[in-house]
Structure 1
Amino acid sequence: MRLSKLGGKEIVNLNDGGRLGLVADSDLVIDEKTGKIRYLIVPDNSLQLNILRNRTEIEIPWEAIRKIGNDMIIIELDEN
């Protein structure tokens, strides 16, 4: 699958059904040695701190991805 096809997909957590955002708003962290994706960095919009520019982020390990569907990516991520 091409990266451009992932861009419009929404990220949904299997554990609580929460929507975390779109892949298009996320960053990918890639291991320079292996070329494998390590994790996604998704802006945490739940705190609504965009006015103050204190944006927090959620790191989603690539291993937490359970399914990539037509419209969304299902992840399994516990809240800490």
Structure 2
Amino acid sequence: MRLSELSGKEIVDVKRAERLGVLGQTDLEINESGQITALIIPSVKWFGFKRNGNEIRVPWQHIKKIGTDMIIIDIPENQIQ
């Protein structure tokens, strides 16, 4: 799958039923061989202002499904950074 095919998809946490962001507004962590190892999702913005300075790191193995409009993740609460 190409990065252009991922761009614009909503990222949704299945456990919290919460929209975390849109790929394109997130950063990608890429290893030396060019594989994506994690999504780095910035803190939620409210009317354009950051609510807090934290970010969520989602390891690639926690991505459960990539659909046509969204990416479903399942990340344990104790692993949210």
TM-score (norm 2): 0.82
Unpaired stretches in structure 2, ≥5 consecutive residues: none
In the other structure, the counterpart of 1:2 is 2
Counterpart contact for 2:43–2:50, Cα < 8 Å: no
Taking the aligned partners of 2:70 and 2:61, their CA distance within structure 1 comes to: 16
Identity %: 49
- 1-structure distance, mates of 2:45, 2:15: 17
Unaligned runs of 5+ in 1: none
Q: How many residues align?
A: 77
Does residue 57 in structure 1 map to residue 44 in structure 2? no
Distance 2:77 2:46 in 1: 15
Distance 1:50 1:24 in 2: 17
Greater Cα offset, 17-26 or 42-51:
42-51
Counterpart of 1:39, as a letter, is A
1:35: Cα distance to partner?
A: 2.4
The whole-number CA distance in structure 2 between the counterparts of 1:50 and 1:12 is 19
Structure 2: how far apart are the matches of 1:47 and 1:78?
25
Runs of 4+ in 1 over 2 A off after TM superposition: 46-51
> 1:44 is matched with which residue?
43
In structure 2, distance between residues paired with 1:3 and 1:36: 11
